[in-house]
Amino acid sequence: MTSRTIVELHILQTVPPSNLNRDDTGTPKSAVYGGVRRARVSSQAWKRATRQAFQEILDPSDLGVRTRRLAELLGKRIRGLDDSISETEAWQLAEDTVFAATGAKMEPPKRNTTEDGSAPAPEAKYLIFLSARQLDALAELAVEGRADLKAFFKDRENKKRAKELANSRHSVDIALFGRMVADGSDINVDAAAQVAHAISVHRADIESDYYTAVDDHKEREEDDKGAGMIGTVEFNSATLYRYAALDVDLLRSNLGKGLRADEPAGEPVRRAVEAFIRAFTESLPTGKINTFGHHTLPDAVIAKIRTSRPVNFVGAFERPVQADQETGGHVRQAGERLAKQIPAIETAFGVGADTLTWVTRVGEDTEPLAALGTELPLPDLVAAVGAEVERRQNGTA
pLDDT digits (tens, 9 = 90+) for 290-342: 989 999 999 999 999 999 899 999 999 999 999 887 778 999 999 999 999 99
315 found inside a domain: yes
Contacts of 38 (CB under 8 A, 6+ apart): 30, 31, 32, 199, 200, 202, 203, 204, 238, 320
Q: Round to whole Å and give the CA distance between 126 and 131.
A: 16
- Please count the structural domains in the chain: 2
Domain that includes residue 303, residue range: 6-46+192-210+237-393
Whether 57 is covered by a domain: the verdict is no
Task: Answer yes or no: do 17 and 156 share one domain.
Answer: no
Q: Is 123 helix (H, G, I), strand (E, B) or coil?
A: strand
Give backbone dihedrals phi and psi of 69, rounded to 5 degrees, phi first.
-90, 50
In a domain, 370, yes or no: yes
Asked if residue 218 is part of any domain, the answer here is no
DSSP character for 303? Answer: E
Average pLDDT, the chain: 91
Segment (H or E) for 159: helix 156-166
For the chain, what's the residue count?
397
Residue 182 maps to a domain: no
Identify whether residues 199 and 303 lie together within a single domain. Answer: yes
Do 306 and 371 lie in a common domain?
Answer: yes
In a domain? residue 148: yes
DSSP β-bridge partners for residue 14: 239
Please indicate, yes or no, if residue 185 is contained in any of the structural domains: no
Residues 78 and 112 in one domain: yes
Query: pTM here?
Result: 0.91
How many other CB atoms sit within 10 Å of the CB of residue 321? 22
Give the contacts of 55 (CB within 8 A, at least 6 positions apart): 63
- Note whether 199 and 119 are same-domain residues: no
pLDDT at 254 over 60: yes
For 134, phi then psi, to 5°, come to -65, -40
| Interval 111-136: pLDDT, tens | 766 666 678 899 999 999 999 999 99
Q: Same domain, yes or no, for 31 and 69?
A: no
User: Number of helices and strands (H, E) in the chain?
Assistant: 12, 14
Q: Please indicate, yes or no, if residue 329 is contained in any of the structural domains.
A: yes
My answer on whether 309 and 277 are in the same domain is yes
> What is the C-alpha to C-alpha distance for residues 53 and 66, in angstroms, rounded to an integer?
15
Across 285-289, average pLDDT: 92
Contact 98, 71 (CB under 8 A): yes
